Structure 1
Amino acid sequence: MCGMPQPPPVRSTPTRPPRPDASMSLLTNVMDHSLDDGYAEAAARKKAEGTGGMPKTVRAKLGLAAGLVLAALVVTVGAAQARIAAPTIAKERQELVDRIGRETTVADKLESSVDTLRDDVSARQREALKKYGGGDQADVVGILSGAVAVHGPGVKLVVDDAKEASTGGNGDPRETSGFSDTGRVRDRDMQRVVNGLWESGAEAVAINGQRLTALSAIRAAGDAILVDNKPLVPPYTVLAVGDGKHLSTGFQNSPDGLYLHALQENYGIRTGISVQGDVRLPAAPSVIVRTAQPSTEKGTS
């Protein structure tokens, strides 16, 4: 029996005694594995799927915060630029104001020079006419032509738009004017007023300080009334030199005076005429002698 190999001894593994908490496997699993592992696993899964990162609410809040920061940055930059540009704008404005002031001063000097030259020309004309026996005629011609300033008795006529310039009235004394707002004074109205004063005996007429001559034109540019291309604004004050009482009565009874009265009654255009003891009218700014010939006949002394 010596030559036969002997099988290794078989050792039996001792059986492990069961855990006392074997019946509480769920609680044991919870205790052995914390919730952090679950969060980490979920985060890893979302990241692998491309949806990882922060929750939507957090991302939204961060996006809003970034937008607010950007808006604040834009406002800050804009305010800084405005502060930088403000001195430049103020400087340019002041330069413009100074330039306007200088140009106004130059224009005033030129106007004064024109007045001086006009007076000199008038004096030379009177001297020349007196030499030929026409001194008195020169004064009359100067007044009638508007070349010289005049003053004397006359009337003051004020014409103004209606308080509420709107269409109204039953009759329409200017139905062909084409204006829907008949409560406003028009150039055609002022033409009739001036012509009515001339026909009633006025020797000189001015509107808002603008002297009228035989070459004057009253026109419209939109809603503005132009006298010799100079815009006027209401109320329109018309001064006329002449026999005050006769001039006032004659105008109010003339067709043009009745026309003005119809505008007042139908459309509320405000008018008022009064006799004046002394009215002063300036000379016309642009009286031009277009043609002239010296007289060949000498007057008698």
Structure 2
Amino acid sequence: MREPDRTLGGFEPEAGLSPRQVHAVQKLPVPSLLRSLLSEHLDPGYAAAAKARADSPHPPPRMVRWGWQATAALLIAMVFAVAAAQARTTAPGVSEAQHVLAGSVRAAEGTTDGLADRRDTLAAEVDDIARRQLADDAEGQQLLTSLDEVNLPAASTPMIGPGVTVTVTDPGMGRDLTDVSKQRVPGSRQVILDRDLQLVVNSLWAAGAEAIAIDGIRMGPNVTIRQAGGAILVDNHPTASPYVIVALGPPNALRDGFDRSPGLIRLRLLEASYGVGATVSADEGLTVPTGATREIKFAKQMGP
């Protein structure tokens, strides 16, 4: 029996035929793709390349191959060295620019705080003069009473009295927060978001609060709580954990109403899931500052 044809994947085309059928029938041997895949596990091109490399009369010396590898490694090292040198060269300029920007921000914050204090002082002087002028007759006293009624919702006067203090604290570097699945903000350990503080403030209003301040910023008309990246802005002022929310009102009724509110339910859920700190305490003699007053603009119809 002759050697099986390798191009047919080891299959003998005359297998199973009688001698007469073998000589009578002429077949064109066509290799079977399926048989080739089952029997030939190495592509013929690899075998041909290996044979050509072995039959080559002048194979590359080992020292030459090592030389090319060393040259490639040296080029890569040079690229990294140049990149490191460039980074060291530009680092002082970047650091200096950061210091300049930080100084500018601090100076702007100081100027803003000074102007805000001056605004509050002048507003208090104007209010005092107006009260002295209006307190002389009955019509002026009636007007002062009306002004006091609208000043409370407008947050235009400082207030002092009993109430509750809600302190919300972001969790620390806890082990649970190393897992990204425990992060509400991807890539950040921040858990408390603007919508959480919004819900707490609205729950305090619904519980009967008469005045509210977050970290010393009075909540009033046109005052917003917004998320800006990893910071929370209250009336465009950045605030950070812990968030201290002061609400003036009857302490017992205010606390009872807040205990049943969606705001405290959300805080307890965050406390159980992420380790957020949330405390509620009733106090006497709490103060809230004056809120920023803004001009209210009304739309007017144009034409007839």
Partner of 1:193: 203
* 2:268 aligned with 1:259: no
One-letter amino acid matched to 2:121: T
Larger radius of gyration: 1
Report Cα offsets for 1:136-180 as digits up to 9, x if no partner: 635565445321222223322345689989xxxxxxxxxxxxxxx
Please state how far the C-alpha of 1:219 moved relative to its aligned partner. Answer: 6.9
Distance 1:222 1:188, change over 3 A: farther
Partner of 1:78: 83
* 2:287 aligned with 1:285: no
* 2:251 aligned with 1:248: yes
Distance 1:215 1:64, change over 3 A: closer
Distance 1:116 1:160, change over 3 A: same
Partner of 2:29: none
Normalising to structure 1: TM-score of the pair?
0.54
One-letter amino acid matched to 2:165: K
* 3-state SS, counterpart of residue 186 of structure 1: helix
Aligned counterparts, 1:74-153, within 5 A: 74-132=79-137, 133-134=140-141, 137=145, 138=147, 141-153=150-162
| C-alpha contact 2:255 2:282 (8 A) present in aligned 1 | no
Distance 1:161 1:70, change over 3 A: closer
| C-alpha contact 1:154 1:276 (8 A) present in aligned 2 | yes
Please state how far the C-alpha of 1:211 moved relative to its aligned partner. Answer: 1.4
Please state how far the C-alpha of 1:62 moved relative to its aligned partner. Answer: 1.6
Partner of 1:238: 245
One-letter amino acid matched to 2:251: S
One-letter amino acid matched to 2:164: V
* 2:160 aligned with 1:157: no
Q: Number of residue pairs matched?
A: 217
Report Cα offsets for 1:12-46 as digits up to 9, x if no partner: xxxxxxxxxxxxxxxxxxxxxxxxxxxxxxxxxxx
RMSD: 4.3
| C-alpha contact 1:159 1:237 (8 A) present in aligned 2 | yes
Q: Distance in 1 between matches of 2:114 and 2:267?
A: 43
Give unpaired runs (5+ residues) of structure 1.
Answer: 1-49, 166-182, 292-301
Please state how far the C-alpha of 1:66 moved relative to its aligned partner. Answer: 1.9
| C-alpha contact 1:156 1:237 (8 A) present in aligned 2 | yes
Please state how far the C-alpha of 1:271 moved relative to its aligned partner. Answer: 5.1
One-letter amino acid matched to 2:261: Y
Partner of 2:219: 212
Q: Distance in 2 between matches of 1:128 and 1:236?
A: 41
Please state how far the C-alpha of 1:284 moved relative to its aligned partner. Answer: 0.3
* 3-state SS, counterpart of residue 276 of structure 1: strand
